[in-house]
Chain A
Amino acid sequence: DTAVSQTPKYLVTQMGNDKSIKCEQNLGHDTMYWYKQDSKKFLKIMFSYNNKELIINETVPNRFSPKSPDKAHLNLHINSLELGDSAVYFCASSQEWAVYGYTFGSGTRLTVV
Chain B
Amino acid sequence: QQQVKQSPQSLIVQKGGISIINCAYENTAFDYFPWYQQFPGKGPALLIAIRPDVSEKKEGRFTISFNKSAKQFSLHIMDSQPGDSATYFCAATDQTGANNLFFGTGTRLTVIP
Contacts and interface: CB of A to CB of B under 8 A. Distances in A.
A100 B103 CA distance: 14
Interface of B: 32, 34, 38, 41-46, 49, 87, 89, 93, 95, 97-103, 105-106, 108
Given A41-B87, A41-B106, A55 B98 contact: yes
Contacts of A41: 38, 87, 105-106, 108
Contacts, number: 61
Main secondary structure of the interface of A (DSSP, over half): mixed
Interface of A: 4, 33, 40-45, 48, 53, 55, 57, 90, 92, 94, 97-100, 102, 104-107
Nearest to A105: B43
A100 B32 contact: yes
B30 to A, nearest CB: 11
A105 B87 CA distance: 16
Contacts of A45: 100-102
Given A41-B106, A43-B103, A48-B100, A97 B43 contact: no
B46 A43 contact: no
A57 B101 CA distance: 12
Contacts of A106: 41-43
